[in-house]
Structure 1
Amino acid sequence: MTERKIFLSLAPGKMTRQPLGAAVLALLAGCSFIPVYERPAAPVPEHFAGVTATAAGPLASWREYFPDPAFHVLIEAALDHNRDLRIALARVEEARALAGIARADRFPTLEAQASGNRSRTLANISGANQTLVFNRYDVGLGLTAFELDFWGRVAALSASARAQYLATDEAAKSFRIGLISDVANTWLQLTELSERERLVAQTLKTRVEGLDITRKRQEAGLSTDLDVLAAESFAESLRAQWADLKRQRLQTDNALRLLTGMAVALPAPTNLANQPLLAELAPGLPSEVLLRRPDVRAAEQQLLAANANVGAARAAFFPRIALTANFGTASRELSGLFESGSKAWLFNPVLTLPLFDAGRTRANVDVAEARKVQAVANYEKTVQQAFREVVDSLAAGSTIGEQVAALEANLRAQLARFDRVKAREQAGIANYLEVLDASRETFSAEQSLVSSRRQLQSARVSLYKSLGGGEE
């Protein structure tokens, strides 16, 4: 509690003009039970592993970060039509309104009041031994139960509501960044599945043609039953993969339509090899990076709200003074409301002093302090989770790039091997099983390369999300 010293100057036989009540009010006005807030230290290493510490500059907006026009179409549709985002934004408006209500409690509410009353009292109970009819009309301004916030209880509740509003706003921003990332990743998955489905269809067509040739060679005595069975097995396995990829593509297509609110026709997927690679990002210092993430800022606002609630709970130990007042005119006749002598007023201060509540107020303080401990732990956990997401994204980006380069080299080697084995088979040096084995290995290398290219793009989308996204 802030301490203030007040000196009263006394003249002989009388007090100075400054009332004692004003001095007491001045003393009480400096009281507040909200604990001093200090941001908890980030429980993470000072630097990201393998990253040189630099100043973290602002991230590019999503329009700049995702150069493919297809991304622009889909992300804009999602931001305009996604229902979950609409719910999140509506929650922000709800929290804003609740904060406004809490702030309004710090100010008096004036009301214009008008009332009329007519009553009849029977003679046998009137005391005057005659039936009485009584009229009363009132018009005035009223102040109802306005709390004088000496201990900062109402101010603490207002601060808590404002922090909750800011936390909800940051949560909506975090959801928005997550929505952008989900749209980008789903589009990349759809592109991958479409490309893999196309490769399977091409390979299946080639293998079916090869199966027909093998059967004809078997009829001519140039191929064995084993060659035919091997060709059939490979063709049917491709047919099964084709059906599975079609299922996955259709489901991913439906997921993307839901994310975009079913508001636009989906663009035709392009080849991942021809798609512009997303930009690389320099993460900078962990503290600068993590504190700009909306989810971390939301966790800190929740901590601020919990801190303010502790002050409000502590203030409940002290008296409350509520004022009810009314000023206006009153008359027995409606026409006499504004005549001279009709002035009426009411002043009704109420002092409430807690004496015994079986430990309820103490328990409320314990609840508020326990919730603050939870908020601190939640904030620290959010920071740690953010740190891990950045490190994971950095690790994925650096290693998957090497993986893509290796798979490209492997595919070149498999294509060369397939061409040579096929030439040897046509020359009668190699058998058909070697051709099938080389074809199977080449197909597997193509599928792996497509998946790794998508993973590389997705890793950069994840890094964009983990660094807190860019400004619009």
Structure 2
Amino acid sequence: MRKSLIAALLALLASGCMVGPDYLRPQVETPPAWRLSDEAANDLANTAWWQQFDDPVLDDLVSTALRENHDLMIATARIEQFAGNYGFVRAGLFPQVDAGYEARRQRDISAVVIGAGNGITYNSYNAVLNASWEIDIWGRIRRQTEAARAQLLASEEGRRGVILSLVGSVAGAYINLRDLDRQLQIARATAKIRGESYDIFKDRYMGGVISMLELSQNKSQYDEALASIPPIEKAIAQQENGLSVLLGRNPGPIPRGKSIDQLRLPAIPAGLPS
């Protein structure tokens, strides 16, 4: 009876020393199939989708952003940090071996005999080999390894998220910039036409064909067309500055490629799940 009680107590104490249970992924209900095949979805996700716009300037801007963006550099450095930590923690599961070697040259003056010299000189060599292995009975090292691996995977996913957000922001900002360029082109063309019309109306007014009211109305249309240009120019400058920040450079002009009308929209498969 006493032995059974002691065994039960030892088993209870041993179970209490365990460091956490094994992680079990929760069951998530998923549909049996998507309307789009997995192959098509993976092909679309793994494609450098911005290249489908077929604009070399946009490709260069994305490459520059991926190379120079500070947030991406931080995310990459974080991955390297967690990868090193994961390797260090995981090494605790395996035997550790330390080796050392030492060589000395000494002189023993205690053996000096009067008139016999300066003592005895000799060489000594010492080699050390230590081996240790912590048996992970309670699962402490395994839990630390699992935590380090989870941090590594999370940092990798974080970097992918930074890349996805960065590329999307650069492509979106560039397309918006080309759209503003198109708006500015239309506004300037409209102002030019309104100016030519105003010149004609002035000649007609001087010839007594139209009244002052008609001339004033035409002048208002011309002034309105001129007034629409500065806000678009300001928006273009702001868009260029924002895109420069994404590229990791000081605010400044952005090179242009194809116009908004020439950009080829990427083909999206029908039924792609959101």
2:46 pairs with 1:59: no
User: What do the CA deviations read for 1:385-432 (whole angstroms, capped 9, x no partner)?
Assistant: xxxxx2xxxxxxxxxxxxxxxxxxxxxxxxxxxxxxxxxxxxxxxxxx
Deviation at 1:107, TM superposition (A): 3.9
Q: Which structure 1 residue ranges, 5 or more long, are not aligned?
A: 1-23, 116-137, 287-389, 391-472
Task: Report runs of 4+ in structure 1 exceeding 6 Å deviation.
Answer: none
Query: Residue in 1 aligned with 2:264?
Result: 276
CA distance in 1, matches of 2:78, 2:35: 38
Q: Any gaps of 5 or more consecutive residues in structure 2?
A: 1-10, 103-125
Partner amino acid, structure 2, of 1:150: I
Q: Which amino acid aligns with 1:199?
A: I
Q: CA deviation at 1:112?
A: 5.3
Tell me the TM-score normalised to structure 1 length: 0.43
Cα shift readout 1:121-156 (whole Å, capped 9, x = no counterpart): xxxxxxxxxxxxxxxxx9855578x75421212211
Which whole-Å CA distance do the structure 1 matches of 2:55 and 2:62 have between them?
Answer: 11
CA contact (8 A) 1:111 1:142 kept: yes
Deviation (angstroms), 1:91: 1.2
The counterpart of 2:145, out of the listed 135, 158, 176, is 158
Q: 1:104 and 2:97 equivalent?
A: no
| CA positional deviation for 1:188 | 0.4
| Aligned pairs for 1:236-385 within 5 A | 236-262=223-249, 266-282=254-270, 284=272
Aligned length: 231
- What does residue 164 of structure 2 align with? 177
SS in 1 for 2:264: coil
Q: CA–CA distance in 2 between the matches of 1:248 and 1:83? A: 25
What is the CA distance between 1:33 and its match in structure 2? 3.4
Q: CA separation in 2, counterparts of 1:193 and 1:214?
A: 31
Percent identical among aligned pairs is 26
Contact 2:100 2:128 in 1 (8 A): yes
1:211-242 CA deviation, whole Å, 9 max, x = no partner? 22223322333223332332232222222221
Deviations 1:267-306 (A, max 9, x none): 424332222121123455x5xxxxxxxxxxxxxxxxxxxx
Aligned-partner Cα distance in 1 for 2:267–2:238: 29
TM value normalised by structure 2: 0.71
CA shift, 1:96, in A, is 0.9
Alignment of 1:44-55 (within 5 A): 46=31, 53-55=35-37
- The CA deviation at 1:161 is 0.7
Counterpart of 1:174 in 2: which secondary structure?
helix
Tell me, in whole angstroms, the C-alpha distance in 2 between the residues paired with 1:188 and 1:178: 15
- Residue equivalent to 1:230: 217
Contact 2:52 2:264 in 1 (8 A): no
Per the alignment, do residues 270 and 68 of structure 1 end up closer, same or farther by CA in structure 2, a change over 3 Å counting?
A: closer
Q: Report the aligned-residue RMSD.
A: 3.4
For 1:83, the equivalent position in structure 2 comes to 70
Residue-by-residue CA offset, 1:156-200 (whole Å, 9 max, x unaligned): 111111111011111111211222211111110111000110110
